[in-house]
Structure 1
Amino acid sequence: MSEPEQTSERQSPLRIDELLERVREGLDRVGPREAYDAAASGALLVDIRYAALRELDGLIPGALVVERNELEWRLDPQGSHRAAEATGHDLRVVVICNEGYASSLAAASLRQLGLHRATDLDGGFQAWRTAGLPVVPVRDEQ
């Protein structure tokens, strides 16, 4: 008898919009006011926007600024390069990008690290600012 023929069927690659939709199904995304209230209740707001956007639009007071390419290393509670704020896997984390796209993917990545309460801000920093929530300019010393 001959060996069964192996099929090399591959799944079609996902489009980014499909990936984003799938990722968001697992997130309890929050709006600007919910994010503000969550921070007041101890949640960690994490701003992953790149420096030029922060300089242009300002910062959310109290948010931890972490470049996107460092996010997992800084937020893994068991990681050797973690931020002091990365206190445990039960930490409520709200990831904020500019408009709420990259933050969804970032929050899903944090969930894979066991941060099961990670989510993102629907509409990102722009929604926060439009809602009239606090924003401060970037200081020159930073």
Structure 2
Amino acid sequence: MSQNHNEISVSATELETLGDEIIILDVRKPAARSGSGLAIPGARWRHPFDAANWAGEFKGMRVAAYCVHGHEVSQAVRGYLADTGIEAVLLEGGFEAWKQSGLPVEPVADTDA
């Protein structure tokens, strides 16, 4: 992603290497997020069906959205963000791919979900 800003997805290992270069958005549905009890460290949770109300806070930033498996939810959010001019990608395989890669996770804060 760092060289081709037209990509729409990034692997878990690629996302981890981006560090502070990108904001990670957890856009899992509330039940899926709380059911998992875990998140990518530093990820900001936003309700996936309310993007019209929160997208503006990420104008001018690079973001990566993830849902459980990287399918409909994160794809829709990524598309919406991109349509509003935000440089957005999705995490290939979603949170499950992140966990399967052995990358760090943290407990979901009670106030986030």
Q: TM-score band, normalised by the shorter chain?
A: 0.7 to 0.9
> Conserved in 2, the CA contact under 8 Å of 1:55 and 1:137?
no
* Match of residue 104 from structure 2: 134
1:1-142 equivalences in 2 (<5 Å):
27-38=7-18, 40-57=19-36, 58-76=38-56, 82=57, 86=58, 88-89=59-60, 91-101=61-71, 102-115=73-86, 117-140=87-110, 142=112
- How big is the shift at 1:108? 1.2
* Match of residue 11 from structure 1: none
Q: Which runs of 5+ in 2 are unaligned?
A: 1-5
- How big is the shift at 1:109? 1.0
Q: Which runs of 5+ in 1 are unaligned?
A: 1-25, 77-81
Bigger proportion of residues as helix: 2
Q: Could you tell me the TM-score, scaled by structure 1's length? A: 0.66
> Conserved in 2, the CA contact under 8 Å of 1:107 and 1:119?
yes
- How big is the shift at 1:73? 2.0
Q: How many pairs does the alignment contain?
A: 105
Identity %: 30
Bigger proportion of residues as strand: 2
Residue by residue, what CA displacement relative to the aligned partner does 1:47-90 show, whole Å, maximum 9, x if unpaired? Answer: 010222222221111001001012232122xxxxx3xxx2x32x
Q: Could you tell me the TM-score, scaled by structure 2's length? A: 0.82
Larger Rg: 1
Matched residues in 1 for 2:48 and 2:111: separation? 22
